[in-house]
Structure 1
Amino acid sequence: MSRISLERLASDNRDTIVRYLENGGDDDLIMLSDVQKKLLDRWRFADEKIREKKYKRETIANFIMAKYNVTRDTAFRDMVSAEYVFSSSAPLNKKYWVGMRIEFLQTKINECYLANDRISAAQLEKVMQKYLEMYPDYSAPKSPKNIIFNFNNAKKTDGDMTVDAAYEMVDEIVKKLENNDDY
């Protein structure tokens, strides 16, 4: 098979798998071939290892090679395909890609330092600093504040107030509190 038809076939497999996942993995809507099922299994494994953030890409490739008995190049292509397939289905794909670039740059910076190429390492660190600025800081989700209104049966001495006027007063107080809220 020629290189062009192999690339087209790989792209078709990937697109089919993406459509399969977008449809909730329903076999009634889209049937995957045996090859596509094997690819999906490898890509899920690769994505799982990538998202664990414990291992370098080289180590993840070794895991894939050992588990599925594939070549190094195939393992790296599986990681790229996993990123493509699962980052498109994840709502935080920008964070995912920026995190992957940071990991890549860290590896390259270490390689530059080991090769005593301090100028390239410094340039890569400048690039990595820009990626770090783009990467969002983690902040714990804030829980909404509960406002408790205590109504007592005390009578107002300044004169009687209608129910509509009381609701308007409560609305004004709530708006003031919402404007001062930090969530």
Structure 2
Amino acid sequence: MIKLFASDLDGTLLNALHEADRTIRGAIKKAGELGAHVVPATGRSVLPIGDRGFTGLKIDAVCANGSIVRGQNGEVLKTFSVDPAFVEELLCAFPQICFDCCTPDGMFSSGSYEMHQAGFKRDGLMRRIIMRGMRARGGAHEEQFFDQPLSSILSHEVCKINCRVTSEELDRELKAFLADHADTVVNAPFDPVMFEITDKD
């Protein structure tokens, strides 16, 4: 009866080293042999075939919180983009925030690398250790371009917008802004200090 098995990665499908080990790979293969379709579902924008122990497995991936669906070779099968008018309004309303705009072509950030990194300072010690481990094990998942002008960002199909804010006041202002645009977008972060914004559908 089960035709599709979708799973998050870190803390769910992957082991403590954030990889698909022999046991996990064996379970994925067995599910496939039984006729089920195994699909990693992740907040990441890309899931290269050779990434995290998935080499050789015939799996598609639901990426960027569902806004980018990729095939077995990493090709884009389907996208759900954020309204460009909303992207423009958001970036113009909060120039002090570094927004990481996920597209099928890479990550285009409105702020500098330093602004991007400053957003991680609100994380607790354990979260910083976990995130450092994830980045160290996973390497670069996609190209990221900092200090991008609005015109450059809008020339791409923005499917997801990530950010971390550095003050409680700014956090409240951004949440209020998103509440006013609940008919357009949804914020579904994996961590309460983050924002992960996609089209509401």
TM-score (norm 2): 0.22
- Greater strand content: 2
Rg bigger for which structure? 1
Greater RCO (CA < 8 Å, at least 6 residues apart) = 2
More helix by percentage: 1
TM normalised by structure 1 equals 0.23
